[in-house]
Structure 1
Amino acid sequence: MFSIGGESWFGVFANQRSEVVRKMGSLNAEAFLARKNDILHSSITCYQILDFIGEGHFSKVAKCVDLNTGKIVALKISKTKSKVNDREVTILETVRALDPHRNNIVKYFDGFSFLDHYCLAFEILDKRLCDLMQENKSHPLSLSEIRCVTRQILVAFEALKSIGIVHSDLKPDNIMLVNHKDQPFKVKLIDFGLALPVSRLHIGMNMQILAFRAPEVVLGLPLSEAVDMWGVGCTMAFMYFGKSLFPSKYNHQITSGRYSLQYFVSDEQAKWRLRTPLQFMKVSGFRPEISKRFTDLARDFEDLIARGRKQTCDDIEDRLAFLDLLKRCLHLNSIHRICPSKALEHCFTSQVKPVDEMEMVSTVNTEIGLGASFGDYFNQLTESPKIEQPRTLSKHESKPVSYDANVFTDQTSQKKSFQKIFEIYSRLKQNILCRLL
């Protein structure tokens, strides 16, 4: 037991418990917010709040001292009591079986309820990945730094997959640097508030913030651990560009496929496409807003990566490997999206040089090409479509249509897209990257 002057900290502060409880109990439970120097009691120890180091919508994070051991911990204190807190504790108890250091997952110590507020004690970490990038004025990370962070997160997801857990909320806010000064870019995955067993996933669930939300979540398709790999892809893009690849706000909320038919339509040839702005307004009553984004200047996804920033010729192969892994993480069809174990074996994360650049292109065409290319999908989401004249909607548009995982497949455009990708790769060094030198 940690002690000062022969008297334990626990003994010094135990007598204050009744006063703390009286002070806290006088407040409405829903309005309660812990204060600096307050002491919170679990069944095994007491925690004194030294300072507050973070706050979210549902909780505050306090820097505390464990009065039994003298160790500094991070205490996540919920603002309200809900069933979500019970679920998080259950998940954390399951995740506790994993080695937190080896698997890059935040170490969980204790969980308890104090005056109807859930408190979770974790190891103290440094700062969030998004905070680091904000400190650097959203300057993109280098490919070596992106590789370092990506590999560690993939290790965490491989471990979670081994015990059947889906995190479902990966974003830069939930990746924390352990000690950036002494261990640069050593990171851990945090916040299991929305995590759940894969067996509990079901069609129609709402998860992930909009900018990181997987297509199957939006469209109400079957869900799996692949939603986390979509989050990995979005996080990789965030580190590369210094901003989110997809917009984070829509003028009309897209929620778990509930409004899917307002966005997509099957034409006379039974092929799926996005509605034009005029068609969307007609069926939804909302006027679509076309926002200007940094992606608008790119011809396609490959061109966007090439235009992303100026780098040297020595970086060409690394950038090519990065692009390949990114496209595999952002495969529209969740069934064919790369899994953590395969991603860890990829040449970008493993730094094993591919045999031939053109061989990589062939692999991209084979494995990524099971649905429409991400470049096509990306362009559909970001380009400003022309307003068409009103026309009579076909009978296919008025009927409910069941979705499957290949709703985006268009073999003609797919073939053209692959040919374009092949051409871009074949002259990548000469006509694209070298112009940025």
Structure 2
Amino acid sequence: METNGLPNGLSNGLSDGWSEYPSSDEEDGHLTPLEDLVPEFEVIDEDIVLEEETISSFDPERWYPIRLGDFITTRYQVMVKLGYGSASTAWLCRDNEQDTYATVKIYETGSQQAATENNIHRYLRSINDGDDFGLDRLRFCRRSFRINGPVGSHVCMVYAPLCMTLEDVRNRRGGKFSLRLLKSVIYTFMPGVWYLHSMGSMVHTDLHPGNIMMASENVRIWDGFVQEELMYPTPRKITADRVIYKSRTPMIGSDAFPVICDFGKVRVGEGPFLGEAMQDAYRAPEIVLGIPWNEKVDIWSLGIMMWYLFEGKHLFRNGEPNREVTRGAQLARMVSLLGNPPRDFLERSRCSYEFFDEDGNLHPHLQNIENTSLDEEEENLEGEEKEQFLSVIRKMLQWRPEDRPCALNLLLDPWFNLETGADS
């Protein structure tokens, strides 16, 4: 069973596992801002909501006011903004101790996500028994520490630098993956999913294209990336107490490979687990219906992700303001695509009666959803190639979690070894 979302012996407390660094001009201060070293840059109007400001929970007082050129301790100098998440910003830094590059994530003050992610990384290192199949497909934290900000301390986590997310790659390719690229990418990071599930008894719960990134150890990529920022600085918004930068996305080299990132929402334990999880567009039916769930929700997410990357569109809507209001519509859409759920599956839910009758049919007020099917909505393939693709998608998008394959069985699925046309 789950133990507070973490293995026994690991605390949620921020005091565990962190190094401490004081706030001072020497350690955390603004030293040689990069704005003083680069050509003119575009200044964005203060009225425009930018990057992390778009997050509904964003509170500027809780986010560290970093600037390009700053030193995070005396070791890491901030060179380029890589991105932001729901509780952190990510920066490419020059590691002056190792004479290389690193990504440093700076979390908002008091972030529980930072505590969870740090504990997960410690746990993953603790269970490594030498059988590292899949371990290199997980993005590990190199070290972590705190820095002091204006209203409290901030957790910093250091990683090897990573290039694009799969979402970035999709956008660069016109909104869709080719079939060959899809197979290669999914097959390459699938061992990481197996490692989480089998070795770590962990459920990621947040697998989507933004949390799969391309790793590269080619230092020349990062040298060129920094030079690009110096020559063509990114636009930024300047306020009284901080600078908000637009993120810059690095290109990927031929040696890049996908890795699984962001373990802040991981659940640890044998399960089953209870409660909400997953983004709206990736929610498995057992979560929508309030049924206890396990690692098979990740397999559902993978199926949704594969569809999205290849078709260029979501199977289910994302970002709904009220999950309770939209559960019926989401279940009706599932029925339209997958057929009626098995009755024994509905019997596991305490609320299925709100949406289905005793025979497992949708209530009449939900039956006005457009009738469709996976076959009708798949637009890129024909004939046998289409049937083969839909076959593996259907295996992953099963109502009953136990009917979905495990990650290892997916790796062994013959679909990944079928010949496809040349990748564009």
Of residues 376, 383, 392, the one that matches 1:303 is 376
- Matching residue of 2:159: 122
| Other-structure match for 1:37 | 69
Residue 91 of structure 2, aligned match among 53, 57, 62: 62
1:221 to 280, 291, 296: 291
Q: Secondary structure at the match of 1:160?
A: helix
Q: Is the 8 A contact 1:104 1:155 kept in 2?
A: yes
Q: Write the letter of the residue equivalent to 1:300.
A: S
| CA distance in 2 between partners of 1:198 and 1:81 (Å) | 25
- Higher mean C-alpha deviation, range 158-167 or range 182-191: 182-191
Show the counterpart of 1:145.
181
SS at 1:62's partner residue? strand
Residue type at the aligned position of 1:303: E
8 A contact 2:204–2:265 mirrored in 1: yes
With the length of structure 2 as denominator, give the TM-score of the two structures: 0.65
- Asked if 1:202 is matched to 2:231, the reply is no
Offset, 1:113: 1.7
Aligned residue in 2 for 1:335: 402
1:271 aligns with 2:271: no
Q: What secondary structure does 2:361 align onto?
A: strand
Three-state SS of the structure 2 residue aligned to 1:92 is helix
Task: State the alpha-carbon separation in 2 of the partners of residues 183 and 82 from structure 1.
Answer: 36
- Segments of 5+ residues of structure 2 without an aligned counterpart are 1-20, 32-59, 217-250, 329-348
Q: CA 1:323–1:302 in structure 2 vs 1: closer, same or farther (change >3 Å)? A: same
Structure 1 letter corresponding to 2:72: L
Structure number with larger C-alpha Rg: 1
Mapped partners of 2:144, 2:326: distance in 1? 32
Offset from partner CA, 1:368-394 (integer Å, 9 cap, x none): xxxxxxxxxxxxxxxxxxxxxxxxxxx
Amino acid at match of 1:167: H
In structure 2, which of residues 137, 140, 143 is the aligned counterpart of residue 107 of structure 1? 140
Corresponding residue number in structure 2 for 1:155: 191
With over 3 angstroms needed to count, the CA separation of the structure-2 counterparts of 1:88 and 1:117, relative to structure 1, is same
CA contact (8 A) 1:318 1:348 kept: no
Shift of 1:103: 3.6
Aligned-partner Cα distance in 1 for 2:205–2:102:
25
Count of residue pairs the alignment pairs up: 310
- Residues 201, 37 of structure 1: alpha-carbon distance in 2 compared, 3 angstrom cutoff: farther
Q: Paired residue for 1:236? A: 306
Q: Distance in 1 between matches of 2:408 and 2:85?
A: 32
Q: Which has the higher contact order (CA 8 A, sep 6+)?
A: 2
The CA deviation at 1:87 is: 1.4
Residues 30 and 69, structure 2, Cα contact 8 Å, conserved in 1:
no
Contact 1:234 1:244 in 2 (8 A): yes
Q: Residues 209 and 260 from structure 1, CA distance in 2 versus in 1: closer, same or farther, beyond 3 angstroms? A: farther
Pair 1:324 & 2:391 matched: yes
* Cα distance in 2 for residues equivalent to 1:255 and 1:164: 33
58-67 or 254-263: bigger deviation: 254-263
- Mapping for residues 88-103 of structure 1, pairs under 5 Å: 88-96=117-125, 97=128, 99=132, 103=136
- Aligned-residue offset at 1:223: 1.1
Q: How far does residue 242 in structure 1 lie from its aligned partner after superposition?
A: 0.7
Q: What one-letter code is carried by the residue in structure 2 that aligns with 1:39?
A: F
1:70 deviates by 1.4
The 3-state SS of whatever aligns with 1:254 is helix
Q: Is the 8 A contact 1:175 1:189 kept in 2?
A: yes
Question: RMSD in angstroms over aligned alpha carbons?
Answer: 3.5
Aligned residue number for residue 410 of structure 1: none
Q: Cα distance, 1:148 vs. partner? A: 0.7
CA–CA distance in structure 2, aligned partners of residues 83 and 256 of structure 1: 28
The answer to whether residue 255 in structure 2 is matched with residue 188 in structure 1 is no
For 1:83 and 1:329, locate their aligned partners in 2 and report how far apart those are by CA, in whole Å.
Answer: 31
Q: What CA distance in whole angstroms lies between the structure 2 residues aligned with 1:102 and 1:234?
A: 23
- List alignment gaps of at least 5 residues for structure 1: 1-13, 280-287, 291-295, 354-437
1:14-58: CA deviations, max 9, x gaps?
9x954454679xxx96243222222223xxx72221121101221
Tell me the secondary structure at the aligned position of residue 54 of structure 1: strand
Q: How many Å apart are 1:319 and its aligned residue?
A: 3.2
> Does the 8 A contact of 1:157 with 1:340 survive in 2?
yes
Structure 1 residues 82 and 212: alpha-carbon distance in aligned structure 2, compared to 1, 3 A threshold: same
Provide closer, same or farther for how the CA distance between residues 200 and 111 of structure 1 changes in structure 2, counting only shifts above 3 A.
farther
2:105 corresponds to which of 49, 66, 76: 76
Aligned equivalents of 1:75, 1:102: Cα separation in 2: 21
